[in-house]
Amino acid sequence: MKTIKFPKREDWSEILKRPTQTVDDIESTVIKIFDDVKNDGDKAIAKYTSKFDGVILDDNSVTEIEIENAINAIPENLKSAIQLAKSNIEAFHRAQKTGRVFVETLNGVECWQEKRPIEKVGLYIPGGTAPLFSTVLMLAVPAVIAGCKELILCTPPNKEGKVADAILYTAQLCGVTKIIKVGGIQAIAGLTFGTDSIPQVYKIFGPGNQFVTVAKQLATKYGVAIDMPAGPSELLIVADDSANASYVASDLLSQAEHGTDSQVILVSTSKNLIEAVASEIQTQLIELPRKAIAEKAISNSKFIYVEDDKTALDLINMYGPEHFIICCTNEDVYINGIVNAGSVFIGNYTPESAGDYASGTNHTLPTNGYSKAYSGVNLDSFTKSMTFQKISKNGLQNIGNAIELMAEAEGLYAHKNAVTLRLKDLKS
């Protein structure tokens, strides 16, 4: 990792760039695959599954037998861990439920808001080098709590045409209604247009690589909503001399091992801590099975040495990290001052991996600076807010003249007339 000392504010944008390809580099590929899937359906899905995943499937759908075999293959201690995580995630997301909001804005004018579930949702679960069964929990649990009727899960098959046992076990545990062996751009296209084997959905959820992220953004052009742009993982830690260098290094490496395009950053007011963390990273890196991936990600990452907490906070808010860890004596400065972050982890004993798996918060979060405008997945992500209103005769008399005047001022006389006719009848 490169160490940058006291960077000038005018240089922050360049220093904080993500190691990602531009949309222009990816979009042409995504558009081509979308067009093929739109026109050729499952034939195109099969072609790209063969090309990208190296397998030809007779059937995309996961069978009951495959699910049963997966359930039997999972060790009991892992089942217990998954069930514990599910319980915590359920508890946190159930607490987000809100009831009807009712207001009588004027005598006789009743307005209220209620939430309704999105009926059909697509859950994208990355496979590749790390089959993320934890993401099944993060998406399916709140979808079920929200009341979604159809949960269509897409995940890429391995070279043998199989899906990881842990993904299948977790999916059935959480109430997923259909599991399909398809990944990447073609999965997002299938969920967008619908094919014989893949149901069309109303909203697509889930993280993925840069190609999946662009594919999700393209899906919105065809009337399908998405949770957020969620691409390669990233982590920023702010730490001072009160932090444990070994812990900080382990957290940086935990995100670096996600993928070669991940990015991790340490911001610190302590030169000694930066040096200690750098040494710890090299020590811990040797033991990692995913060392090659982590090393590549580390090469995209930085230590940033700043003069004070205020400077650090300003820089962090400009970056807008997906994951933000605070290990500082003055932690309240950062807790109260952070405005751009997907999820925040506080103190030496709150590793980011707790949020990835089992604390209860959701790990599907905005990356690439999108935390400046997007929230992470939550219960509301799976619902729509609908407004209702009911106006009595007295209520229309109280509000009617204001409506008439405003409609006339906008030149919309049919709008005015819809009120005028009713008011005349009430006077007669």
Question: Which of these is catalytic: 93, 234, 280, 323?
Answer: 323
Of the residues 234, 257, 280, 322, which is catalytic? 322
- 53 labelled ligand-binding: no
Q: Is 209 annotated as a binding residue?
A: yes
Annotated ligand binding at 299? The verdict is no
**268 labeled part of a ligand binding site:** no
* Residue 40 annotated as lining a ligand binding site: no
Residue 124 assigned to a binding site: yes
Structural tokens at position 147 = 């009341």
Cβ atoms of 372 and 340 within 8 Å: the answer is yes
363 known ligand binder: no
186 marked among binding-site residues: yes
323 labeled binding residue: yes
Q: Is 160 tagged catalytic?
A: no
397 labeled part of a ligand binding site: no
Please confirm, yes or no, whether 322 is among the known catalytic residues: yes
Q: List, as residue ranges, the binding site for substrate.
A: 233, 255, 258, 323, 356, 410, 415
Q: List, as residue ranges, the binding site for Zn(2+).
A: 255, 258, 356, 415
Q: List, as residue ranges, the binding site for NAD(+).
A: 124, 186, 209
Q: List, as residue ranges, the binding site.
A: 124, 186, 209, 233, 255, 258, 323, 356, 410, 415
| Residues designated catalytic | 322-323
